Amino acid sequence: MDRRRRVILGTAGHIDHGKTALVRALTGVDTDRLPEEKRRGITIELGFAPLSLDGVGTIGVVDVPGHEAFVRTMVAGATGIDLALVVVAADEGVMPQTREHLAILELLGVRRGIVALTKADLVDDEWLALVEEDVRAATATVLRDAPIIPTSAVSGQGIAELRAAVAEMARTIPARSNDDLFRMPVDRAFTIKGTGTVVTGTVWSGRLARDETVRILPSRHSARVRGIQGHGSQLDVATAGGRTAIALAGVDVADVPRGSTIITDRAWRPTTFARADVTLVPDLAVAVRPRTWFRFHVGTAEVGARVVARAIDSSHPFAARLVLDEPVVLRAGDRFVLRTSAPLNTVGGGVITDPYAPKRARPWSPGLSARDRFAQLLEEAGAEGVEAATLPVRLGLSTSEVRDLTRVVGDEVAVVGGRIVARARLAALQGELLAVVTRYHADHPLDAGISTQLLRSQLKGGAEIVDAALQAEVAARRIESGAGAISLGGWAPKLDTGSSALSASILARLSAAGAEPPSVEELAGELGQDPGPVLRFLERQGEVVQVEQSRYYAANSLKLVIDRLRTAMSGGAEVGPSELREKLGLSRKFLIPLLEYCDRVGHTNRNSAGRVWHGT
Ligand SMILES: Nc1nc2c(ncn2[C@@H]2O[C@H](COP(=O)(O)OP(=O)(O)OP(=O)(O)O)[C@@H](O)[C@H]2O)c(=O)[nH]1
Ligand SMILES: [Mg+2]
C-alpha cells in the first residue's frame, strides 16, 4: 500500500447535478460550509475533503461550484488536479456547464476522469441509457475512455463501484517529481486564532520543509513556514501533488490572496509577457481577433490579457504572445484558460512556451520541443546569454532534466558567470572584439591600445561574456592586455612619415621653449593640427612630460628647471612661492603647475607656509 501517493480528484459538472452530495457520499464531508451556500443550496467556494481509498491511501478531493457565474472558481479548483469526477445528473443530462467544464478540463490537460450519472434513483433504465449515450458524445474528445457509473447519493447505488474506479485510476497516476522547484498556487487564505495566516493549495512541484523561508508572488512578501498540514495531520515536509495547508509567520492574510503563488527559488518571478501556444474551443460564438482581450486563468490566478498573434487559427493551436494586465507566476508547460467576460464564456486556452518573453517578442512556431525552445532562447539572448538558474522555469523542466539537456548540447554552449551563451555567439563576439581593436589601431596608430572601458562599450554583450571573449583572445595570443590598454598581439605604436615630421616639429618647439612651453592648444594653433596623439606617444617614449592637463615639457627642459628648483631649495627650509618665482624667474602661470607637479611626483612636500625639498 502506497500511502504517499499524492493524488487530487476534482469534481466538474453543471449546477445542482449532485457534485457536493456525491463528495459527501464518498468522504462523509459536507464541503458546503458557508451560510450562503446552505441558504441557496449551491456551492460558491471551493470545497476540500480527504478521501481514503483501500490500497491507495488518502487522496484529496476538490469540489467546485457548477453555477455559471462561478466558472472562474471552478478553473482555480480544476487547475492542478490529476483526476476529474464529471458529474451529470441522470434526470437532466448534459447541460451548458457540463460542456464548459469538460472544455476547461481538456484545456487544462486533465486526461483522466470518471463520469458519475448522479440521481440515478430519479430515472428509469431506458432514460439512463439515453443519457449515457449523450455523455459518450459529449466526452468524445476529452475523457474518451472514462468509465460511466450511475450513482445515487440517496440510495447509495454505485458509490462502492465509484470508489473502486477512483482507486484503480489513482493507482495509474505517476508520482510527481520532488526533484524540482517548489511551487504552490494559493487557493484559500485565512487566519486561525493562535496560528495566524494559513494558506492552502495543491503543491504543483518540489518540496517545502518547516521553518523554510518562502516568497509570495506577485506581492514579493517573504514569510517563514511555521507549520505544514496535509489532510489534517502535521507534516515536516510538503511534497508535490498533495493538498497542503501552510501556516506562515510574518505575512498578513491580505498579502497572500487566492491567485498568489508560494515559491522558494529565485528563478520564479512575476511576469506580464509570455509566449504561448493557444487553442480555441470549436464553434465559438464570439469573434477572436489578433489583439482580443480575455480573462486569463492560470493556477488559481485570474488577470486580464491580450492575446497577440499574427493569425488566429480556430482549428489548430497557434503561437501567440500574451500581454498580461497584472503580473502572475508562469512556467513553461503551464496550462491556462481564456474566457470572455461579456458574454461569459470559455473560449480557449493553451500552454505557456516562454514565461519570461521579451516585451516585443516574436511568437515562436507552435509545438516546439524543450530543446528547440532552448535553442530559440539562446539565439535571442545573443551575447547577453541566458541566466542558467531560470532554465527550469523557462523550459518547464526539472533541475535534473535541465542538467541533462545542457549536457546534450554541451559542445554548443558555454557557461559564463551563471549565464549560458551559444559557443557560436561567443566565437562571433571574439571576432567582433578583434575587429574593434584592429580598427582602433588603424585610427590611433600612436596609441598603445584601446581602454577596457571603451572596448566594452563597443561590444554588445553581458559584461562577463565580453570578458570571457577577451580572455579567450588573450589566451590565444591574438590580443594583449596590459596597463589598461588592450592591443593586438605584438602591437607596438610607431610614427609614420606624417607623424614623424609632426613629432620633430613638436620636440623642436618644446625644447626651444625651455621652462615656459606652449600649451597643447597653442601648439595646435601653431601647427595647424592636433598634437595630442603624438604628445602622448612621445610621453610613453620618455621624450616629453605632461606637467599639467594641457602642457607638456620637453624632458630635458623639465630636468633643467627641476635642477634649478633643487638648488633654490637646497637650504632645507620652507620656501614660499613668491621667493621661488624670483629665484627661478618663472611667471605664476608656469610656476604653480610646476610646483604641483613636483609635489605629485615626490620632489617636494607642501606645508602650510611653503615647500621643502623632499626627494630626488
Ligand atoms: N434524488 C437525488 N437527489 C440528489 C442526488 N444527489 C444530489 N441530489 C440533490 O440535488 C440537489 C443539488 O445537489 P448538490 O450536491 O448540491 O449539487 P451540486 O452539483 O453540488 O451543485 P452546485 O455545487 O451548486 O453546482 C440537492 O438538493 C441534493 O439533495 C441523488 O443522487 N438523488
Ligand atoms: Mg456543490
Question: Average pLDDT for residues 89-109, to the nearest whole number?
Answer: 95
Return the H-helix or E-strand segment holding 38.
helix 35-40
Q: Quote the percentage of the chain above a pLDDT of 90.
A: 75
How far, in Å, is the centroid of ligand 2 from the Cα of 19? Answer: 5
pLDDT at 307: 92
Q: What is the pLDDT of residue 236?
A: 95
What mean pLDDT, rounded, does the chain reach?
92
Give mean pLDDT, residues 3-15: 85
pLDDT at 86: 98
Across 379-383, average pLDDT: 92
Is it the case that residue 509 has pLDDT exceeding 70? yes
Q: What is the distance in A from the centroid of ligand 1 to the CA of 42?
A: 9
Q: Which of 34, 98, 119, 161 to mutate to test the pocket of ligand 1 (most atoms within 8 A of CB)?
A: 119
pLDDT of 27: 96
Mind spelling out the 3-state secondary structure of 561-612?
HHHHHHHHCCCCCCECHHHHHHHHCCCHHHHHHHHHHHHHHCCEEECCCCEE
Q: Mean pLDDT throughout 437-449?
A: 91
Q: What's the whole-number mean pLDDT along residues 250-267?
A: 95
Mean pLDDT of 272-280: 95
Nearest CA to ligand 1 atom 3: 119
Find where cell 589598461 sits: 484
pLDDT interval class at 2 (50, 70, 90): very low
Atom of ligand 1 nearest to the CA of 13: 19
Q: Is the pLDDT of residue 343 over 80?
A: no
Which residues have C-beta within 8 Å of that of residue 231, sequence separation ≥ 6?
50, 58, 60, 243
94 vs 345, more confident: 94
pLDDT of residue 1: 31
Q: Range with the lowest mean pLDDT among 100-104, 219-223, 310-314? A: 310-314
Q: What is the pTM of this model?
A: 0.82
Q: Considering every ligand atom, which ligand is closest to the CA of 92?
A: 1
Ligand 1 site-directed mutation target among 19, 46, 117, 151, most atoms within 8 Å of CB: 19
The pLDDT value given to residue 285: 60
Q: Separation of 404 CA from ligand 1 center, angstroms?
A: 50
Task: Tell me the C-alpha distance between 434 and 443, whole Å.
Answer: 14
Q: Indicate whether 361 pLDDT > 80.
A: yes
> What 3-state class would DSSP assign to 88?
strand
**More confident position, 616 or 100:** 100
Looking at 289-293, 392-396, 413-417, which range is the least confident one? 289-293
Percent above pLDDT 70 for the chain: 99
Q: Which residues contact 51 (CB under 8 A, 6 or more apart)?
A: 9, 26, 27, 58, 59, 60, 61, 166
Q: What is the pLDDT of residues 297-313, one digit of tens each?
A: 999 999 999 999 887 88
pLDDT number for residue 332: 97
The reported pLDDT for the residue numbered 3 is 39
**Residue 188: closest CA among 34, 296, 305, 396:** 34
- Residue of 15, 16, 154 to mutate, ligand 1, most atoms within 8 A of C-beta: 16
